[in-house]
């Protein structure tokens, strides 16, 4: 499964694996044109049948999904890199820079350069409807308190990978028994300049002991809304957006005091990106 389609926890559309393949193909080939015939071939369906099944599962047309993925990636690149606008547009499948700038402004309300000048992540585009299926599985779960050994990171959240690698090396060298990897992100990318974003890369320490060179972060237990995202980490901003703008209100939940976090359930070095499983966990209480 991927972040583009998650149905009810116990039921999947019989053609969902075909659409999973298509979405992976789209993410990996944004730099060039993607025809309906090509995507239908990836799904191993006729063009007519593919269009119908795709809309039935995702709630969107093929061109709308491709456009949304292109623009979300472009928005992230404009804010987190210094690539020229023309390079960003080309890298996301726009041959003509003018058409890229028009599409970007129509989607986000600002030009690409204005987005970069603000140094704040734009709210990702999410589908306006989701057919007969929910966007992500979300459950309310009671979490126990835990402690992580962590290293801090300041700057773009997309650059935290190197901090996770350093953290893993330090914990391996310490010989500490550890559990899941945890990412904690303290600031809203929509309200905070990229260079001021604060985060922690950590791992649960089962003994509760933290090596001297690392920071101790205690996460208090309680009720959490837990969203499961499957696929590339690049899709996580949309998952957070969905959690706060759709999932919580649908379940009559509001955030409470506590630390929201991401829990990574795979080894990123040995797992294909389309199979990465991440839990987005937000402390909540009922309205």
CATH number, domain with residue 81: 1.10.10.60
In terms of DSSP bridges, do strands 198-205 and 178-185 run parallel, antiparallel, or are they unpaired? Answer: antiparallel
| Same-domain pairing of 165 and 195 | yes
Whether 129 maps to a domain, the answer reads no
Read off the pLDDT of residues 11-39 as tens digits, 9 standing for 90 and up.
Answer: 456 777 888 888 888 888 888 888 888 99
Looking at the structure, tell me whether residues 72 and 156 fall in a common domain: no
Q: Is residue 56 part of a domain?
A: yes
The pTM of the full predicted model, rounded to 2 decimals, is: 0.61
Q: Determine the length of the chain.
A: 287
Domain count, the chain: 3
Nearest-angstrom CA–CA distance, 121 and 261:
18
Higher pLDDT, 273 or 172: 172
Give me the domain span that covers residue 197: 147-219
- Asked whether residue 11 is assigned to any structural domain, the reply reads no
User: CA 145, CA 63: separation in Å to the nearest integer?
Assistant: 44
pLDDT at 7: 31
CA separation for the pair 113, 86 (Å, rounded): 11
Helical residues (DSSP H) of the chain, grouped into ranges: 16-28, 36-43, 47-58, 62-80, 85-91, 97-108, 112-118, 161-174, 236-242, 248-250
Asked whether residue 44 falls in the same domain as residue 165, the answer is no
Examine residue 10 and state whether it is found in any structural domain, yes or no: no
Mind listing the pLDDT tens digit for each residue in 92-150?
A: 999 899 999 999 999 888 999 998 887 776 777 766 554 444 457 889 999 999 999 99
Averaged pLDDT of the chain: 84
Lowest mean pLDDT among 66-75, 103-112, 156-165, 228-237: 228-237
- Residue 180: the pLDDT is 94
Q: Domain with 211 in it: what CATH number?
A: 3.20.80.10
pLDDT of residue 69: 87
Torsion sign across C-alpha atoms 8, 10, 13, 19:
positive
In this structure, are 140 and 237 located in the same domain? yes
């Amino acid at each position: 499964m991927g972040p583009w389609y998650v149905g009810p926890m116990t039921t999947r559309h019989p053609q969902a694996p075909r659409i999973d393949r298509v979405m992976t193909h789209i993410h990996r080939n944004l730099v060039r044109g993607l025809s309906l015939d090509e995507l239908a071939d990836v799904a191993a369906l006729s063009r007519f049948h593919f269009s119908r099944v795709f809309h039935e599962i995702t709630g969107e047309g093929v061109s709308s999904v491709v456009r949304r993925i292109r623009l979300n990636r472009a928005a992230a690149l404009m804010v987190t890199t210094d690539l020229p606008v023309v390079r960003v547009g080309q890298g996301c499948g726009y041959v003509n820079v003018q058409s890229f700038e028009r599409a970007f402004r129509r989607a986000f309300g600002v030009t690409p350069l204005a987005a970069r000048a603000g140094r704040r992540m734009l709210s990702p585009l999410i589908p306006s409807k989701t057919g007969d299926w929910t966007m992500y599985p979300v459950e309310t779960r009671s979490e126990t308190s835990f402690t992580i050994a962590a290293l801090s990171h300041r700057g773009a959240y997309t650059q935290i990978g190197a901090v996770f690698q350093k953290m893993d090396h330090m914990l391996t060298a310490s010989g500490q028994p550890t559990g899941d990897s945890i990412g904690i992100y303290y600031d809203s990318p929509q309200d905070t300049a990229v260079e001021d974003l604060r985060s922690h890369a950590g791992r649960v320490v089962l003994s509760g002991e933290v090596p001297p060179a690392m920071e101790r972060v205690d996460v208090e237990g309680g009720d959490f809304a837990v969203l499961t995202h499957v696929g590339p980490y690049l899709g996580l901003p949309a998952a957070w957006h969905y959690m706060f703008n759709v999932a919580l209100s649908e379940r009559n939940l509001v955030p409470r005091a506590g630390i929201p976090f991401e829990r990574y359930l795979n080894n990123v070095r040995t797992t294909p990106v389309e199979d990465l499983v991440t839990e987005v966990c937000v402390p909540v209480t009922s309205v």
